[in-house]
Amino acid sequence: MKKQLQLFLANGKTHFWVFLLALMCSFTMNAQTTSRIIKGVVTDEKNETLIGASVLIQGTSIGTTTDFDGKYEIEVNGENPTLEFSYLGMKSQQITVGESNIIDVTLKEDAFGLEEVVVSGVASATPKKNLTISVEKLDADNIKDVHASSAVNALQGKVAGLKVVVANGLPGGGASVRLRGSTSLTGSNKPLIILDGNRLNTNLADINLDDIETFEVVKGAAAAALYGSQAGNGVIVLTSKRGKKNKLGKSTITVRSEYGAQQISKYLDLATHHPYQLADDQADYDYTRYKGVYYFQGGHIGSRLVTENGYADQEYAQVYNHQEEFFKTGIYHTEYVGLTGHGEKSNYLISIENNRQEGIINYTGGYQRNNLKFNMDHRLFDNFQISTSNLIMKAQSQNPGSYRTFQDLLFLSPDVNLFAKNKDSTDFLFEPDPWKVGLVENPLYPLANTDRESSRFSIVGNMKAKYSITNWATLEAKYAYEHRNTQAITFQDKGYYIAGSVPGPGYLYKNNFKELGQDVQVTLNLNKQVRDFTNKFKLSYLFEKTERDFFSVSAKELFAKGVPHLNNYDPKTAKLNSYDQKIVSIDYFGIYDFDYKDKYLFSGLYRIDGSSLFGREVRWNPYYRISGGYRLTEDIKLPKIQELKLRVAYGTAGQRPGFGWKDEVFIVSDGAGKYRHTIANKYLKPSTTKELEIGMDVNFLKRFSLTAAYAVTNTEDAIYRTILASHIGASYQYRNIGTISGTSLETSLQTDIFNKKNFSWTTNLTFDKATQKVTKLNIPPFFNGPRSAFYVAEGEPFGSMYGYDWVKSMDQMARQIPDGKSINDFEVNSDGYVILKGTAGTKDEAPIPLDIDNDGTADKIIIGNSNPNFNLSLQNSLEYKGIQLGFLFSYKNGGNIYNYTRQYAYRENQAPEIDQYGKPENEKKTINYYGALYKSTEINSHFIEDGTYLKLRELSLSYTINKKTLAKLVNFTQSVRLGIQVRNVYTWTKYTGYDPEVTSGNDLTNYYYDNFGYPNFRTYSGSIKFIF
């Protein structure tokens, strides 16, 4: 790699400096040397002064801000420079300096944010009206109604094409995020996350929302090409708050507290009757007694007898609601204090936050987060500025562990008492169900007797220096770092019960993971107005280094009770695991944006990435973008249309291979010695996503703002771990094996319904529809996802579910009639399945598996598709005299879910449809019938469910007391905001599980598969926020 780098630099160095010199010389044309001071006041339409408004000499990086009286002073050079005045939420103004040295400005409201500045994916800060790519920006006003538990959760339902999946309710578990369609066959589709210029690997749940100023969502490969081989899934850029918005010379203290409760949204329906014959003396006992069973003190012998008809309609002696006993109402609270200040040369932010989520499961501690934030900018000299951004995050969680806990909860017989005691008088009888010993345990026992804790500690920060060479050229240097340390322990003490309800030897597991990521970046920025041309150029060098270290040990046979230490186990039972990783990458990129008269727009960029993750023969990989736009209404005045922009972009970005994928890998294992696991691939390269996007932005009737984009995407050289033939002497090799193609249609309609002095009502309606298909596959089709329920094959949608189907019509049956039978021997039952005629309601009733080729063997086919037809979200915000009402609806149309939780309930006769009590006799079905549908947990279409839902995701009501009102009581408080809010309010759906937003596996944005996950829950809370 070093030789290639030297060759690259040697060949390009001379040409680069010649090009740079020519560019700088061209920018210096028309430069003048005379200077003078311009002063003035900036106000709004109500004649109120604007504090912190930006005043910039157009075409340069020289500027200032207004003070607490709205006043400004700026030195200008030349005879007729142009000053640009801007303020958040206002339309910017450009005024050419004339003879007068006094320029007062009145800014008008910008209802749809055309003047809002975007900094991601572009050469330098660019107004939204001049963008040629898809970048969605959210600020504090977009997310103020309901305060999300973490920064990334705040994006749910607010950006078209952005999928935020909270696959389960695990406190601190975080969310999975995807932009547009999938780009990976087996791995993550997570976008690159950047916080204040740092690329993040930390858990997104650990970032609190209070410190975030803006989100910028860079959609698709065309927009994200600037970020190269890490940005094939798009980019989300978070920018934290700083003190520069404060009044000059003033400090602000923000205090916010929120307290509430977390509750499960619904209980699953389960069977409360059984199919077994009851003992004749059942009425004399308070527990369920069965025929064929002999009872004695502390036990029984014999087997239960199924009733003659096989119906599950027999009553238990008593029925417990195990879910009610298992779940609890958990406490949720957060406390935040932030201090910001703005001086003549410096501004700063210091904040602390504490967040606690108990969750909804008894005997678990849930999640706790403590954050410390420090940002500072300081101007050492007029042309030299330094800044730093730092975030320290500490998080701890205590959660239930594996899915086994939820499985046991749902499948204990309903007459079992979870609170019965063990023989040694300890709580929670380990195996309380005498008919399922060795199969089902008391779900409360491991929660109360297992110490299962994990902790995360992260420090994310950077230091930047910016030197202004001229008023249009700056040189920036940045050092960024991310240090992470995670630890986990699982401890089951000596004597912890095991199968058979006997005391076990105990169990101990510990791990420790450390990561240090470091970046060094040097950037040259050129920003020059030449007559009617605005030119922006950025040239950058980026060095990235990541080091990781992992170690774990697990062991049984503890020597002493109550000692969770690594010296307290039999070393013969120990299993060790460790690895070290080091990744180095070098990236170069240049980008040039220009516009002519603010109406003809162009952007072009080129980037080349080299990484130790790439194969030796493909070490360097290029990425590029070319895009353009035309603001039609700058040339043609269209009735009722204030703004119409057409744009098109084509670009590429990539997804890097994982560590070690290109290398030969040996595994060292106890008992097996060393063996070759993976063979090397010197040609393994990052997959490349190529995207063509066509977009339109239109503002009309002075109330509506519509953004629409259509993108066609092809991800080539998708990576997969292929299985090798046994004679090769290794199990696997990572290869570039295929292409995923997709389309995405996204629209967003922002409406300013009312905007009066005392009443306002705004809405934001988003729509997106995406398709994804495997269009090329260089290996045979394969199964993927949880329990291999998903099928990857050329020409098939990515997200296809594969399994057995049932005959559902007489036409289907006519194509597979067995020998000796005729079509008249079959009929369709009340569930819509074909059965043998005359067997309905009997023990012989059974659905007939689909046999497409009529060879006597059931066939596997595609039985479902996890991709929705489309998604809709509607956000509303109403305000009347300080009272704010906000609510957010999300709608998902289509998309299948495989409900394995329900399928497993068939095995235990616990599914609600198996309960026949109270059903008409002609509709009853036997446990044999449901056992046939269970099909030994084979994937089959009976457990495919519709994932359509309408969800009221957020609801809030608040009241803000402004400074004028407060002044009658106190004179040191700027505002007080009181609020109540509910998250995950209610869901309308036909899905039978806890929540239709349920996924599992290694890609939580694709695999809609219900596998006993931690249920999503509802949160109620009240909050108060002071600004001093």
My answer on whether 188 and 278 are in the same domain is no
Q: Which residues contact 748 (CB under 8 A, 6 or more apart)?
A: 136, 159, 160, 706, 707, 708, 764, 765, 766, 767
Q: What is the mean pLDDT of residues 699-726?
A: 95
pLDDT of 114 reads: 66
Residue with tokens 């009888």: 429
Statement: residue 145 has pLDDT above 90? no
Query: Token digits for 10?
Result: 């040697």
In a domain, residue 1019? The reply is: no
In a domain, residue 132? The reply is: yes
* Helix (H) or strand (E) segment spanning residue 1017: strand 1017-1027
Residue type, 208: N
Asked if residues 215 and 155 have their Cβ atoms less than 8 Å apart, the reply is yes
User: Residue 439's closest CA among 788, 786, 909?
Assistant: 909
My answer on whether 204 and 320 are in the same domain is no
User: Residue 771's closest CA among 698, 718, 710, 820?
Assistant: 710
User: Residue 790's closest CA among 942, 947, 898?
Assistant: 898
pLDDT of 34 reads: 63
pLDDT of 116 reads: 83
Statement: residue 2 has pLDDT above 50? no
Which whole-number Å values give the CA distances from 1011 to 563, 784, 844, in the listed order?
A: 34, 15, 30
Residue type, 1026: F
Q: What is the mean pLDDT of residues 971-990?
A: 93
- Three-class SS of 412-481: CCCCCCCCCCCCCCCCCCCCCCCCCCCCCCCCHHHHHHEEEEEEEEEEEEEEEEEEECCCCEEEEEEEEE
Domain assignment of residue 282, given as a range: 273-324
- How confident is the model over 439-463, as pLDDT tens digits? 999 999 999 999 999 999 999 999 9
pLDDT of 673 reads: 67
- How confident is the model over 471-510, as pLDDT tens digits? 899 999 999 999 999 999 999 999 999 988 999 999 999 9
pLDDT of 373 reads: 98
Last residue of a domain, one of 204, 230, 245: 245
Statement: residue 22 has pLDDT above 50? no
Reported as half-sphere exposure (CB side, CA atoms, 13 A), residue 621 has a value of 29
Which whole-number Å values give the CA distances from 15 to 12, 596, 821, 1003, in the listed order?
A: 5, 28, 83, 45
Last residue of a domain, one of 324, 359, 390: 324
My answer on whether 240 and 142 are in the same domain is yes
Q: Which residues contact 538 (CB under 8 A, 6 or more apart)?
A: 123, 124, 523, 524, 525, 526, 589, 590, 591
In a domain, residue 167? The reply is: yes
In a domain, residue 951? The reply is: no
> In this predicted structure, which of 383-397, 686-700, 715-729 has the lowest mean pLDDT?
715-729
User: Residue 1011's closest CA among 453, 412, 410?
Assistant: 410
Alpha helices by DSSP H, listed for 917-995, are 927-934, 963-966
User: Residue 1017's closest CA among 986, 979, 992?
Assistant: 986
My answer on whether 186 and 229 are in the same domain is yes
Burial of 721 (0-12, 13-18, 19+ CB in 10 A): middle
Q: What is the mean pLDDT of residues 347-353?
A: 97
* Helix (H) or strand (E) segment spanning residue 12: helix 2-27
pLDDT of 29 reads: 41
In a domain, residue 293? The reply is: yes
Sheet holding 896-899, edge to edge: 944-946, 896-899, 1009-1010
My answer on whether 288 and 190 are in the same domain is no
Residue type, 429: L
- On average, the pLDDT of the chain sits at 91
Distance separating alpha carbons of residues 560 and 770, to the nearest angstrom? 57
In a domain, residue 918? The reply is: no
* Helix (H) or strand (E) segment spanning residue 21: helix 2-27
My answer on whether 137 and 234 are in the same domain is yes
Query: Token digits for 1012?
Result: 């006993």
Q: Which residue has the higher pLDDT, 6 or 741?
A: 741
Asked if residues 706 and 700 have their Cβ atoms less than 8 Å apart, the reply is yes
DSSP string, 690-721: EEEEEEEEEEETTTEEEEEEEEEEEEEEEEEE
Distance separating alpha carbons of residues 372 and 352, to the nearest angstrom? 5
- How confident is the model over 906-940, as pLDDT tens digits? 999 999 999 999 999 889 999 999 999 999 999 99
Q: Which residue has the higher pLDDT, 14 or 802?
A: 802
pLDDT of 434 reads: 92
My answer on whether 134 and 224 are in the same domain is yes
* Residues paired with 581 in a beta bridge: 548
Which whole-number Å values give the CA distances from 756 to 753, 878, 958, in the listed order?
A: 10, 11, 19
pLDDT of 13 reads: 40
The pair phi, psi for residue 319, each rounded to 5°, is -130, 125
Tally of domains in the chain: 2
* Residues paired with 765 in a beta bridge: 749, 874
My answer on whether 284 and 221 are in the same domain is no
Statement: residue 961 has pLDDT above 50? yes
Long-range (24+ apart) CB contacts under 8 A made by 835-844 are 841/921, 841/922, 841/923, 841/924, 841/925, 841/926, 842/310, 842/926, 843/309, 843/310, 843/926, 843/928, 844/928
pLDDT of 756 reads: 86
- Residues across the chain: 1028
Q: What is the mean pLDDT of residues 876-901?
A: 96
Q: Which residues contact 79 (CB under 8 A, 6 or more apart)?
A: 32, 34
My answer on whether 212 and 160 are in the same domain is yes
Q: What is the mean pLDDT of residues 370-374?
A: 97
Query: Token digits for 550?
Result: 């992992």
DSSP string, 350-375: EEEEEEEE--SBTT--EEEEEEEEEE
Rounded (5°) CA angle 746-752-756: 170
Statement: residue 599 has pLDDT above 60? yes
Sheet holding 63-65, edge to edge: 63-65, 54-57, 82-86, 93-96
Statement: residue 748 has pLDDT above 90? yes
pLDDT of 357 reads: 95
* 66 — pLDDT class (breaks 50, 70, 90): confident
User: Residue 187's closest CA among 779, 718, 733?
Assistant: 718
In a domain, residue 345? The reply is: no
- How confident is the model over 67-114, as pLDDT tens digits? 767 889 898 887 678 898 888 767 888 898 888 889 999 988 776 666
- How confident is the model over 224-263, as pLDDT tens digits? 999 999 999 999 999 999 998 887 888 999 999 999 999 9
Q: What is the mean pLDDT of residues 979-989?
A: 96
Distance separating alpha carbons of residues 211 and 374, to the nearest angstrom? 10
* Residues paired with 199 in a beta bridge: 194
Statement: residue 142 has pLDDT above 90? no
My answer on whether 238 and 121 are in the same domain is yes
pLDDT of 62 reads: 78
DSSP string, 284-342: G-SS--BTTEEEETTEEEE---B-SS--B-EEPS----HHHHHB--EEEEEEEEEEEEE
Say what angle helices 927-934 and 900-907 make with each other, to 10 degrees: 140
Distance separating alpha carbons of residues 750 and 764, to the nearest angstrom? 4
* Helix (H) or strand (E) segment spanning residue 411: helix 404-411
- How confident is the model over 547-556, as pLDDT tens digits? 999 999 999 9
* 672 — pLDDT class (breaks 50, 70, 90): low
Q: What is the four-CA torsion angle of 934, 936, 942, 946, rounded to 10 degrees?
A: 110
Residue type, 383: N
My answer on whether 230 and 278 are in the same domain is no
Q: What is the mean pLDDT of residues 589-595?
A: 97
Asked if residues 206 and 395 have their Cβ atoms less than 8 Å apart, the reply is yes
Q: Residues of 878-905 as b/e, b for ≥16 C-beta within 10 angstroms?
A: bbeeeebebbbbbbbeebbbbbbbbbbb
pLDDT of 696 reads: 97
Q: pLDDT exceeding 90 applies to what percent of the chain?
A: 75
pLDDT of 593 reads: 97
Statement: residue 23 has pLDDT above 50? no
In a domain, residue 58? The reply is: no
Q: What is the mean pLDDT of residues 792-799?
A: 95
Q: Which residues contact 756 (CB under 8 A, 6 or more apart)?
A: none
The helix/strand/coil state of 228 is helix
First to last CA, the chain: 55
Query: CATH no. for residue 235?
Result: 2.170.130.10
My answer on whether 309 and 195 are in the same domain is no
**Helix count and strand count (H, E) for the chain:** 9, 55
* Helix (H) or strand (E) segment spanning residue 220: helix 220-224
Distance separating alpha carbons of residues 710 and 401, to the nearest angstrom? 42
